[in-house]
Structure 1
């Protein structure tokens, strides 16, 4: 069983070939391909976490879609002063599928 832990949009995700990951918006090339930076590689019984060894590892992925996350409502209120503030936020996300770990 081969899997890797990669940096994906400010977080770390455990991925295998065929895994679909939702991460913060990333730019891919015109074909929709991108590479993810590995932090750890597990290949059967061998565990690789050395930075020089991980430079040779390539985790490739393809973009499935760009989407937006759920709406988050931010409300601020101060009692007896008449201060109310309301704003919302929707995070820009990218859904990718891991195509290879070499």
Structure 2
């Protein structure tokens, strides 16, 4: 059984036992988190309407935090000798999916 959940503006396909990276969550390591906005649950039959998904839940355990890849940027304005380099690394939370429940 798998489900598609929304977390941090992105959608992830999750299954029990899988490990996924989502945008940073305010939860300590070892805490259990419920991902509620389930978009699709596929088991014996597909659940996709809001009425069918009302009771669907995905339970996950926080395994830790990691940094994403370094993003390097560069801006400049021609003829003025104005240049700027910048970088960014997004923080991610690593989740272990424990259970996918259909409503």
TM-score (norm 2): 0.88
Matches within 5 A, 1:29-68: 31-37=30-36, 38-44=38-44, 46-68=45-67
CA distance in 2, matches of 1:67, 1:53: 35
CA distance in 2, matches of 1:77, 1:27: 36
CA distance in 2, matches of 1:100, 1:28: 18
What residue number does 1:25 align with?
Answer: 24
Stretches of structure 1 that go unaligned for 5 or more consecutive residues are: none
Stretches of structure 2 that go unaligned for 5 or more consecutive residues are: none
Deviates more, 1:59-68 or 1:77-86: 77-86
Q: CA deviation at 1:29?
A: 6.1
Number of residues of Structure 1 aligned to a counterpart in Structure 2: 100
TM-score (norm 1): 0.89
CA contact (8 A) 2:4 2:13 kept: yes
Q: CA deviation at 1:86?
A: 1.3
Name the Cα RMSD after superposition: 1.5
CA distance in 2, matches of 1:95, 1:35: 14
